[in-house]
Structure 1
Amino acid sequence: MSTDGLSVDEGIRTLLLLMPRMVGRVKRHKVPAELQSLALAPRHLSLLAYLLFDGAMTVNELAARLEVAPTTVSLMVGELSRKGVLERREDDADRRRTIVSIPERRQGAIHEWLGRGAQAWRQALEPLTPEQRRMFVETLLAYEQALSED
């Protein structure tokens, strides 16, 4: 690929070849044995990633970040808590709020599962300027939005 730019069609051709390879490589990252029996679904990945990389947070904070209703997050948290993947506790400052976290005994396996992808993104994004990173992320978001318009 030349460094002097791409036409839209060249970019499309390159990405149409690249995306299936990327998805295939991501799918090859096996769920650690410790987590395999828990039947974790793709919808759990983003929730677990936020908790792993940003630490404990409330159901409402998770819902805002995931862009879903708090009831949806509450259902997922309940399901994952019953499986021992998450812990819930009351917020000492406000007993109406629930703080959600990954128990220490699960953090290693979840990091093993999600950490490689995070490291690959870090490697790809660090050389870019903040403006280039924003453009890249906004481009992926626009692509996702265009796919959902069917």
Structure 2
Amino acid sequence: MLLLMPRLVGRAKKLTVPPALASFGLAPRHLTLLALLLLDGPMTVRVLAERLEVAPATVSLMVGDLSRQGILHRGEDDTDRRRVIVSIAAPHRRAIHAWLAGAADAWRAALEPLTAAERGLVVATLRRYEEGVERSLSKG
């Protein structure tokens, strides 16, 4: 694992932003937000914040920035007009899919032969690793 994890992270960092999206100043923090919207579909800022495990204000700032640039679309929820639904803007969907699909497909292929319980174990193990790294960073 000590050899594998840095390679995984290194490969993920090599996911270069496609030319169609290069002028938007997208950063790694945007990658997960866009991946959630691409793979799971439109959702509210609150749900995005829960899924990203960050404060709603943080997501709101990212969504606002990406919306002003035309990458994301904010629309009213038909069932509750007070709620805003965030989605990827149609003109950028293809480029974002091309950017993120390879990594998503690789995860699907890796996890597909596992049972739901085994997939849960993989995710739980990676979360514990993340927490351990975070603890060691906070000590230093």
How is 1:71-110 mapped onto 2 (pairs within 5 angstroms)?
Answer: 71-110=57-96
2:53 to 50, 67, 70: 67
In the TM superposition, residue 44 of structure 1 has moved relative to its aligned partner by: 1.1
In the TM superposition, residue 68 of structure 1 has moved relative to its aligned partner by: 1.8
3-state secondary structure, aligned to 1:31: coil
Aligned to 1:139: 125
3-state secondary structure, aligned to 1:23: helix
3-state secondary structure, aligned to 1:48: helix
- Could you report, residue by residue, the CA deviation over 1:48-99 in whole angstroms, capped at 9, with x for unpaired residues? 1111011111111111211222221111110000111101112233222111
Q: Which has the larger radius of gyration?
A: 1
Q: Is structure 2 residue 34 aligned with structure 1 residue 48?
A: yes
Task: State the alpha-carbon separation in 1 of the partners of residues 35 and 86 from structure 2.
Answer: 13
Tell me the matched-pair count. 136
Task: State the alpha-carbon separation in 1 of the partners of residues 115 and 80 from structure 2.
Answer: 40
Q: Is structure 2 residue 21 aligned with structure 1 residue 35?
A: yes
Structure 1's consecutive aligned runs of 4 or more residues displaced over 6 angstroms after TM superposition are: none
Q: Is structure 2 residue 94 aligned with structure 1 residue 114?
A: no
In the TM superposition, residue 144 of structure 1 has moved relative to its aligned partner by: 0.1
3-state secondary structure, aligned to 1:96: strand
- Could you report, residue by residue, the CA deviation over 1:100-132 in whole angstroms, capped at 9, with x for unpaired residues? 110111111111111111111111111112221
TM-score, normalised via structure 2 length: 0.90
3-state secondary structure, aligned to 1:16: coil
- Could you report, residue by residue, the CA deviation over 1:4-39 in whole angstroms, capped at 9, with x for unpaired residues? xxxxxxxxxxx1222222222222222110111111
More divergent stretch after superposition (15-24 vs 51-60): 15-24
TM-score, normalised via structure 1 length: 0.85
Task: State the alpha-carbon separation in 1 of the partners of residues 46 and 8 from structure 2.
Answer: 32
